[in-house]
Structure 1
């Protein structure tokens, strides 16, 4: 059977808890990593959640595997990870991927807008000087 996006989203949402900004901030105070998985042009355009770490969704597998030469030490299997993207879809899929890779405490915050509307600080985009 061929998987569809709908199937993948349902599977991801079934195993990755969706949390609000207040819970994300609480987890961060306890040492969780807030991980922005949007592409660089999105961050340049809209800014980023203060205190977030960035790994583009397309590089996540490479950055999350300790045996990869591209491993990012901010990702640790003993550390909670709160993911966000623009609206929550990629964060859910990325959360499922991390779960499949052995990361057990993974959460979906949704989008940058959810963070900002929940009182999270946002660092504004860098002015390109144009």
Structure 2
């Protein structure tokens, strides 16, 4: 329970914008594809719905997403920040050290992050 409250703590997206734009940090949208169709998504984000995140991030899975690596910083967002907090916990359990919860898509936009549709 306390791990979830720690994961809920949001990182200021403005602090991550440059690192994401240079490729130093990976941006992951954990929402469902239908949500992206409705609201758009953050520029540069990859979409890995929360239900698929563990398999996509597990280094022992031969079908894992190649952009994910326990050594590379990752920032997650969703609609409000709750699912991204769950994603933070999933990645930490898989050995990812530098994982950040950006909160919701609106937090990304408020920090000056651009959207794609």
TM-score using structure 1 length: 0.82
Mapped partners of 1:74, 1:25: distance in 2: 18
Local SS of the residue matching 2:52: helix
State the Cα RMSD in Å.
1.5
CA shift in 2, pair 1:99/1:36, >3 Å: same
Moved over 4 A (4+): none
CA shift in 2, pair 1:27/1:16, >3 Å: farther
Partner in structure 2 of residue 109 of structure 1: 102
**Which structure has the larger Rg over C-alpha atoms?**
1
Partner in structure 2 of residue 13 of structure 1: 5
Superposition deviation, residue 116 in structure 1: 0.7
Number of corresponding residues? 116
Superposition deviation, residue 36 in structure 1: 0.4
Gaps in structure 1 of 5+ consecutive residues: 1-6, 125-130
CA-to-aligned-CA distance 1:1-22 (integer Å, 9 cap, x gap): xxxxxx3xx4223256521221
